[in-house]
Chain A
Amino acid sequence: MTDILRSFPSAASARLAPPRFGWSRRPPLGLLLAWAVLLVAAAWAVAPEIFTSQSGVVGIPSEKLQAPSAAHWLGTDELGRDLLARIIHGARYSLSGAFLAVGVGLVFGAAIGLTAGSVGGRVEAILMRIVDVMLAIPSLLLALSLIIILGFGHAQAAIAVGVTSIASFARLVRSEVVTVRRSDYVEAAFGSGGRFLQVIWRHVLPNSLTTVLAYAALQLGWAILQISTLGFLGYGAPPPTPEWGLLIAEGRKYMMAAWWLTAFPGLVVILVVLAANRVGRAAERATR
């Protein structure tokens, strides 16, 4: 009698399936670390006095350009200002700038995308072509031009960065709106007597925003980087503001004598941007 299973490896060699762990229930370590980094940065921005007793602006001239030590953990700069204190005080500028930038991008981008996606037709064609034009201009160039129009300053730099992200927000919002707009429940809402604006406000907007908010979280890291870049180029907050990009730019002059002046602010920017990206990705995945 033929046994159809005879040709398979014998039961002795059968391996048990590897045990499975409940990954879905425990957040991964990397994500927890990322959250920790962001929380610390946020705490620095809200209450810098708790983390350092030294001033971020006024230095002690006799203690200039000191290497990291017990008294100054990350060393001091050319005016004798404590670098750690400057980084901690600078969080406020970099983070608030990032939130302002993402806020500008989100609000205006959502408005354009929502209008284009829900009205459709010629309005959509015109709005989306404008967005295409915006996407065609290099974002740094656009930001620099805007700063020259708006004037120099911390808030201006943030707004300029925000404006450059309007186009990508508008595109994402439009594509979400178009999908939601076609769904049965939106049609049902019109069918039960809903007026256009009511339906857009009650159904289309909330259902399109989930993905967009996750994208906004992802944009935070990018905004910090852009604002630091503008600060580095001298288009952001004026000295002696301890904004992170400006710290790196000022430290550049002493690169050979005092490596810590560029290395530590750079490291902080990298860590915070990485953490913001990690959290943004997790949020994006959770909304899928």
Chain B
Amino acid sequence: MTNALLEPRAVGAETRPLLRISGLEVAYDGVPVTHDVGFEMAPGEVVALVGESGSGKTTTAQAVIGLLPPNGEITRGEIRLNGEEVSRWSPRRFDSIRGSVVSLIPQDPGASLNPVLTIGAQVSEVFRLHGRRDRAGIRAEVLALLERVGLSQPELRFRQYPHELSGGMKQRVLIAMALALKPALVIADEPTSALDVTVQKRILDLIDELRAENGTAVLLVTHDLAVAADRADRIVVMRGGRIQEQGPARELLAAPKEAYTRRLLADAPSLSAPALARPGRLGGETAIEVRGLVQNFPTDRGGSFRAVSNVSFSVARGSTHALVGESGSGKTTTARAVVGLRRPDGGKILVNGQDPAALRGEELRQFRRRIQLVYQNPFASLDPRQSLRAAVEEPLLNFEPLAKAERERRVHEVFARVQLAPELLERRPAALSGGQRQRAAIARALVLKPSILVLDEAVSALDVTVQAQILRLLDELQRDLGLTYLFVSHDLAVVRAISDTVSVLQGGEIRESGPVAQVFEAPQTEYARQLIAAIPGRLRRG
């Protein structure tokens, strides 16, 4: 059995598919959410399940591994693992194959490890659950595994707790756990969405390598068509619980048959052609000027940590400047200083000629009329108890004693501006999709007619299609209203699509800056080259 698992490709031409799903219908509380889903996977094959949130891709993957939430139920169809129908199995029976035949690499490495157990204990548990008892043998295997997934100093990691590891390291541990028993099929549910681009690339490379080594088939669930394009043999495109299109990756990407697939392709920032020509935006007056900015954070031990050191850039009015970097690079800290939410520990910031650090009380309040911040997470940046009308109206109430009718008109106007239907005005954020919430957050920022918007990862939490819509909206707004954007992002593909100039940050310092075309086409520094090489979709771009 073990040998066959190691070399399923050698099994021969007559092998039946490893996984065969047909006519699958899953219902939550009796309401079906997937309809007639069917596809096959050969041993050792990588199949990407692509779709927006709510398309049913995660539900399908959960059904395969028997981990549907308590209110979910397979109502129709069958799932065959190596010929055996498993869709009606009891949870206990599923336990016997989870880990050994099918295993899961979960989405959020932060929440998927037990914080009170050491890494060693958690990886060892996989072996113990499946009946291994020799402690020394397990320990040796775990150490080998940790080393195999590219963790340095496995002996140290074995003793460490999850909070001592970075996100990328935690994801490696989870991969080690998923591959510990050399399963025939690994389900990777958005394995890299929570990670930085360079880490993302290393993790995906690792999954690729381990697959080549063990012959494990991988079902890659992702919203990012670019990732699918790079890594998958075949792609299954889902939408609204149905399969839209499926086929070999190369063919499907070269000649998509369905309109929806074409739209996904066009919307993926890293796959579509580099941005809209943006001439004549540079060279006017300066809207934001940052000189030698320094930001320190106090640490637990009474010392201080320098998050930003000597950062300088300037942004011309009506243009977009991007701050790019991985987490911890100081990009968000810089943006918050520009908005006046943090006082700099050194250096100077001038926004429309004013220094926010020198402002107090009422002056600071007036300053905020001209510069607005849009947050990364639209689920957290809108008050859950406020209707959209109240949220968008609030800034007006703060600044302008307008008559009710005039205020009403302004709210409707800005709602139309961000392309939200007026019916949504009375809704609360919980009744909206992520894209609608982000539009509402942008509407709230725009209602005061500011001249500068600071966008802190404003599209990172959104699906590619919604992301593309918001980017188009931002572009339109900039052209119509002459807005200046400071665009903070870890996603270089998005940055290339929307920015005029860019600063690449690492460890709180600017590594490289200049016009987007120059930085992307001819990066001068090693770090910028690495970042650009890590953008998914490069295989297809050629």
B partners with A: yes
Query: A224 vs B84: C-alpha distance in the bound complex, in angstroms?
Result: 61
Beta-carbon contact of B90 and A183 below 8 Å? no
Let me know if A15 is at the binding interface, CB within 8 A: yes
| A185 to chain B: closest residue by CB | B383
**CB<8 Å pairs between A and B, sample of 17:** A1-B4, A5-B81, A5-B84, A8-B84, A14-B90, A20-B71, A188-B382, A188-B444, A189-B383, A191-B368, A191-B373, A192-B444, A192-B445, A193-B368, A198-B398, A203-B383, A207-B384
Task: Report the bound CA distance from A184 to B458 in whole Å.
Answer: 13
Known contacts A11-B84, A194-B394, A194-B398; 5 further A-B pairs (Cβ under 8 A): A1-B4, A4-B4, A5-B101, A192-B394, A193-B395
Q: What are the residues of chain B within 8 A of A185 when measuring CB–CB? A: 380-384
Partner of B29, one of A17, A22, A195, A202: A22
The B1-57 residues at the A interface (CB cut-off 8 A) are 1, 3-5, 11-12, 15, 29
Cα–Cα distance between A184 and B365 once the two chains are bound (Å): 18
Cross-chain contact A17 with B398 (CB below 8 angstroms): no
B367-394 with Cβ < 8 A to chain A: 368-369, 372-373, 375, 377, 380-386, 394
With the chains together, A284 CA to B81 CA distance in Å? 43
B505 near A: Cβ within 8 Å?
A: no
Which residue of the partner chain B has the closest CB to A18? B90
Residues of A within 8 A of B97 (CB): 5, 8
Of A7, A16, A202, which contacts B90 at CB under 8 A? A16
Residues of A within 8 A of B365 (CB): 193, 195
Given contacts A8-B96, A183-B380, A203-B383, contact A191 B341 (CB under 8 A): yes
Kindly report which residue of chain A lies nearest to residue B381, judged by CB atoms: A184
- Tell me, yes or no, whether B91 is within 8 Å of chain A by CB: yes
Q: Name A16's closest neighbour in chain B (CB-CB).
A: B88
List A contacts of B386 (CB < 8 A): 202-203
How far is B82's CA from A24's CA once the two chains are assembled, in angstroms?
36
Q: Which of B70, B82, B380 contacts A184 (CB 8 A)?
A: B380
A188 with B90, Cβ < 8 A, contacts A4-B1, A24-B71 known = no
CB-CB under 8 A from B1, the residues of chain A are 2, 4, 6-7
Least Cβ–Cβ distance between B184 and chain A, in angstroms: 6
Cross-chain contact of B82 among A3, A18, A22 (Cβ < 8 A)? A3
Q: Which residues of A contact B399 (CB under 8 A)?
A: 193
A61 adjacent to chain B (CB < 8 Å): no
A183 to B379 CA separation, bound complex (whole angstroms): 11
Q: A206 at the A/B interface (Cβ < 8 Å)?
A: yes
Q: Does B502 contact A (CB under 8 A)?
A: no
In the assembly, what is the distance between CA of A189 and CA of B70, in Å? 38
Asked if A187 lies at the interface with its beta carbon under 8 angstroms from chain B, I say yes
Q: In the complex, how many angstroms separate the beta carbon of A217 from the nearest chain B beta carbon? A: 19
A207 B372 Cβ-Cβ under 8 A: no
Does B73 reach chain A (CB closer than 8 Å)? yes
Looking at chain A, what size class is its interface with the partner chain? 20 to 34
Q: List B residues 392-407 near A (Cβ within 8 Å).
A: 394-395, 398-399
Say yes or no for A121: interface residue by CB 8 A criterion.
no
Q: In angstroms, how far is the closest chain A Cβ from the Cβ of B181?
A: 11
Chain A residues whose CB sits within 8 angstroms of the CB of B88 once the complex forms: 14, 16-17
Q: Is the CB of B93 within 8 A of A8?
A: yes
Bound-state CA distance A5–B82 (Å) is 7
Chain B residue at minimal CB-CB distance from A198: B398
| C-alpha gap A168/B93 in the complex (Å) | 47
Which residues on A sit within 8 Å (CB–CB) of B384? 185, 207
B85 lies within 8 A of chain A by Cβ: yes
A5 to B, closest residue via Cβ: B84
Q: Which residue of A lies closest to B400 (CB)?
A: A193
Q: How far is the CB of A213 from chain B (nearest CB, A)?
A: 13
The interface residues of chain B lying within 8 Å CB-to-CB of A198 are: 398
Chain B residues closer than 8 Å to A6, beta-carbon distance: 1
User: Of residues A4, A15, A22, which shows the largest number of chain B Cβ atoms within 10 Å of its Cβ?
Assistant: A4
The residue on B at minimum CB distance from A25 is B29
Q: Which of A5, A191, A202 has the most CB of B within 10 A?
A: A191
Q: In the assembled complex, how far is the CB of residue B438 from the closest CB belonging to chain A, in whole angstroms? A: 12
Within 8 A of B (CB), among A1-41: 1-9, 11, 14-18, 20, 22, 24
A207 neighbours in B (Cβ, 8 Å): 383-385
Q: Which residue of B lies closest to A207 (CB)?
A: B385
In the bound complex, CA of A185 to CA of B29 (Å): 33
Is residue B448 contacting chain A, with contact meaning CB distance below 8 A? yes
CA distance A3 to B11 in the complex (A): 11
* CA distance in complex: A17, B92 (Å): 9
Contact A20 B70 (CB under 8 A): yes
B448 in contact with A188 (CB, 8 Å): no
Write out the residue numbers on chain A whose beta carbons fall within 8 Å of the beta carbon of B184: 4
Contact A3 B83 (CB under 8 A): yes
